[in-house]
């Protein structure tokens, strides 16, 4: 009988721990946290630590940040016995947990994705504005592999889609017999499991999303230079219209960085008979400050928090339809100069600027591009004291002071 293979991933559930960014012995974040999931020997050879970002019960199999597989000694021994040539077990320390624990690093990548047998295969195109990704997989569901190309490998990553970790059927069976916790398996061999009607719905939904994404990216490319160096990992789920949270960033001609939400105007996932523009808005934050790794920068984290609030609460979107809006979000991890005594950071949404379009068109309708400007704590205090119409006066003072929509980690407040 032909060997079957499975995508091994974490069974996400409440009440369990979540491990954070890998750290070196001095507690510094590793520069290349992706190295443990690309199908090759890890190049970092020092001591590695994982903080526990979310407290909870530990499990035999877990994913740390960047989907890094982490296993305990029991599961490590199972892999060492059954696939010694396919894996690298890298010892790690985990805050307040005795261990031992290991990163489970697959050493082999195999070109084996069967795109004809898979569903919803999407490739990066020139319209996406990232030349180095053109022609590679952007999305795939119900992935199937060509087992004739696998050979004797029992643990590997498909080279075309190395975000998944594949294990053989005998390893899956051994894990289930051993009662391994935290693991979930999805078949990548055999016939598709989704019925034809649902498959057609998924295909149509993907077509609508692609139409919106390509049209948005045409707008983004006109605002600056997009590059894979500015990549911000997306998040699946949440209150966004398409149940996926994406961001894009681009270098402006003056050297600053513009970060935008890329999905608040996605078509609603439940409406398939015609294009829609989701919430009819996207958010943008721009800063002249150097950011280093963009995806770890404070403007990205701030935009993520603001976008979540806007997506979650309709009353905020209604207020934005009527003009500007000030709001506060959690200040954890933000520059100290921006954080209020209550641990919050304030922003002003909707300040107009000549350097960005206020509106653009998608197949599903018109979309507003709303700026997010971070406020100094003194400006928030002044706003709260002044009450109604204070936002308009604050914008007037920004303009009088030569201030624009740009966000900075520090500047002189325009109020006293």
Do both 332 and 389 map to the same domain? yes
- Inter-CA distances, 172 with 132, 158, 167, Å: 35, 18, 7
Residues 238 and 285 in one domain: yes
Do 162 and 235 have their domain in common? no
Query: How high is the pLDDT of residue 322?
Result: 83
Q: Are residues 363 and 231 in the same domain?
A: yes
Asked if the structure places residue 408 within a domain, the reply is: no
Sign, CA dihedral 410-411-412-415, equals negative
Q: Supply the DSSP string of 228-261, one letter for each residue.
A: GGG----EE-SSSTTSEE-EEEEE-TTS-EEEEE
One domain, residues 64 and 185: yes
Check residue 1 and give its pLDDT: 62
CA distances from 264 to 105, 176, 246, 261, 312 (A): 35, 40, 9, 7, 11
User: Is the domain of 186 the same as that of 225?
Assistant: no
- Six-digit token pair at 98? 């005795």
- Tokens representing 338? 């921006």
Digitized pLDDT (tens) for each residue of the chain, 416 residues in all: 688 999 999 987 778 888 888 999 888 888 888 889 888 898 888 899 998 877 888 999 999 888 899 999 999 999 999 999 999 999 999 988 887 999 999 999 999 999 888 877 888 887 776 777 888 888 887 899 999 999 999 999 999 998 899 999 999 999 999 999 999 999 999 887 667 787 788 888 888 998 999 999 999 999 999 988 888 878 767 789 988 889 999 999 999 999 999 999 999 989 999 999 999 999 999 999 999 889 889 999 999 999 999 999 999 999 999 889 999 998 988 999 999 999 999 999 999 999 999 999 999 999 999 999 999 999 999 999 987 788 999 999 999 999 999 999 999 999 98
| Residue 16 structure tokens | 């369990």
Same domain? 181 vs 215: no
Whether residue 299 sits in one domain with residue 394: yes
Count up the domains in the chain and report the number: 2
Pair 71, 108 in one domain: yes
Does 413 fall in a domain? no
Asked whether residue 411 is domain-assigned, the answer is no
- The verdict on 283 and 166 lying in the same domain is no
Of the candidates 258, 254, 340, the residue with the CA atom closest to the CA atom of residue 291? 258
Dump pLDDT digits (tens) for 100-151.
Answer: 999 999 999 999 999 888 877 888 887 776 777 888 888 887 899 999 999 9
Going 25 to 19 to 342 to 302, the CA torsion angle's sign is: positive
Q: Are residues 251 and 118 in the same domain?
A: no
In a domain, 262, yes or no: yes
Per-position DSSP letters for 331-390, written without gaps between them: -TTS-GGG--TTSEEEEEE----TTS-SEEEETTEEEEEEEEEE--HHHHHHHHHH-TTH
Kind and range of the H or E run holding 61:
strand 61-64
- 161 in any annotated domain: yes
Residues 5 and 148 in one domain: yes
Q: Note the pLDDT of residue 176.
A: 97
How far from chain centre, in Å, is Cα 309? 17
Query: Within a domain: residue 107?
Result: yes
* Segments forming the whole domain that contains residue 98: 1-193
In a domain, 236, yes or no: yes
């Amino acid at each position: 009988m032909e060997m079957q293979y499975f995508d091994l991933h974490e069974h996400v559930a409440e009440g369990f721990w979540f491990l954070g960014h890998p750290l070196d012995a001095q507690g510094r974040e590793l520069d290349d946290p992706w190295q443990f999931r690309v199908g090759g020997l890890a190049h970092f050879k020092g001591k590695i630590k994982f903080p526990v970002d979310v407290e909870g019960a530990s499990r035999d199999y877990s994913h740390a940040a960047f989907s890094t597989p982490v296993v305990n000694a029991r599961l490590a021994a199972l892999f060492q016995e059954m696939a010694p040539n396919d894996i690298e077990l890298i010892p790690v320390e985990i805050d307040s947990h005795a261990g031992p624990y290991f990163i489970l690093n697959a050493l082999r990548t195999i070109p084996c994705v069967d795109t004809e047998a898979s569903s919803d295969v999407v490739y990066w195109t020139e319209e996406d504005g990232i030349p180095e990704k053109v022609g590679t997989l952007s999305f795939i569901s119900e992935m199937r592999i060509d087992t004739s190309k696998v050979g004797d490998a029992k643990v590997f990553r498909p080279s075309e889609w190395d975000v998944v970790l594949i294990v053989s059927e005998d390893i899956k069976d051994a894990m289930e017999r051993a009662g391994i916790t935290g693991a979930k398996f999805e078949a990548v061999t055999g016939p598709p499991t989704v019925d034809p009607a649902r498959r057609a719905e998924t295909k149509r939904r993907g077509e609508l999303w692609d139409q919106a994404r390509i049209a948005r990216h045409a707008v983004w490319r006109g605002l600056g230079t997009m590059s894979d160096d500015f990549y911000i990992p997306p998040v699946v789920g949440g209150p966004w219209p398409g149940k996926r949270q994406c961001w894009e960033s681009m270098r402006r001609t003056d050297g600053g960085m513009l970060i935008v939400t890329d999905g608040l105007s996605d078509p609603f996932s439940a409406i398939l008979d015609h294009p829609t523009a989701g919430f009819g808005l996207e958010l943008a934050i721009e800063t002249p400050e150097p950011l280093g790794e963009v995806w770890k920068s404070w403007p990205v984290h701030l935009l993520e928090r603001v976008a979540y609030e806007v997506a979650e609460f309709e009353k905020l979107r209604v207020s934005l339809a009527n003009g500007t809006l000030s709001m506060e979000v959690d200040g954890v991890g933000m520059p100290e100069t921006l954080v209020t005594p209550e641990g919050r950071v304030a922003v002003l949404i909707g300040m107009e600027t000549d350097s960005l379009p206020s509106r653009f068109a998608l197949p599903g309708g018109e979309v507003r591009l709303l700026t997010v400007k971070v406020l100094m704590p003194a400006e928030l205090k002044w706003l709260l004291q002044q009450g109604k119409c204070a936002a308009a006066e604050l914008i007037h003072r920004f303009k009088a002071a030569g201030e624009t929509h740009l966000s900075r980690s520090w500047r002189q407040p325009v109020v006293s």
